[in-house]
Amino acid sequence: MAEVATIVELNGPTGVKTSLANKVARFCNEDSAEPQLNNPCKIPPSLFSYSFRKTHSLRITGDFRQVSDIYVYGDGTFAADWGLDAANGGALRIGHRDTGDNGLPIDVALHGTNEYAQATGDSTSGHAIDDPVNGHPYYMSQSTPVLNFDSCLAGAPCKIDSGPYTEDFYSKAWVLDLKIPPSAIYGAKSPKSITAIYNIF
């Protein structure tokens, strides 16, 4: 049979995986795959606030010889559609590595190491990926620890995992956070899609 694909979110201290199929993933101020409307992101009076980090991975099972070259991209309008005021630094950001795959290793057997780190913060702000003290250990020391996800388009997607994989697997993960300036716009935001692509044969 052909492959079956889904996206999972990793939460908790050990990175428990939850499929996002039939669920709604929301950026918020808690580490939860399905927070409903609880703990919404806060607009700060000054400087920036951040959402709790989201860690997502592509899960593929089924019959295939090889899966490789896993990328993610968006439509380039997250900041605009969500009122993040890009001109003042607001953005959806994705963890970035200076060299190699941008994805986060999450399985020792599949990726050689497990660099998962639970999202942290408090009720007013999460800890940013590139926070100098509480940032994500796998990204915070990079010279470019994050990319603006609005620059990751279909023609220039963000490479998450080169692979290759020859049996059922979880890909390296992509880590996202929201950077929110004081000039961001209040209110419920429209849902948006992230696209994951891969080569299979």
Where does this chain bind another protein (CB under 8 A)?
Answer: 1-7, 19-25, 37, 40, 43, 58, 63-65, 68-69, 164, 186-187, 190-191, 193-201
One-letter-per-residue 3-state SS of 150-186 = HHCECCECEEEECCCECCCEECCEEEEEEEECCCCCC
Nearest approach, Cβ of residue 132 and another protein (Å): 29
Nearer to another protein, 131 or 161 (CB): 161
Looking at the DSSP assignment, which residues form a beta bridge with residue 114? Answer: 106
Nearer to another protein, 6 or 113 (CB): 6
Nearest approach, Cβ of residue 104 and another protein (Å): 18
Nearest approach, Cβ of residue 38 and another protein (Å): 10
Tokens of 134: 């509480």
138 near 53, Cβ under 8 Å?
no
Say how far apart CA 42 and CA 48 lie, in whole Å. 10
Nearer to another protein, 58 or 140 (CB): 58
Nearer to another protein, 86 or 194 (CB): 194
Nearest approach, Cβ of residue 133 and another protein (Å): 27
Per-residue burial over 110-119, b = 16 or more CB atoms within 10 Å of its CB, e = otherwise: bbeeebbbeb
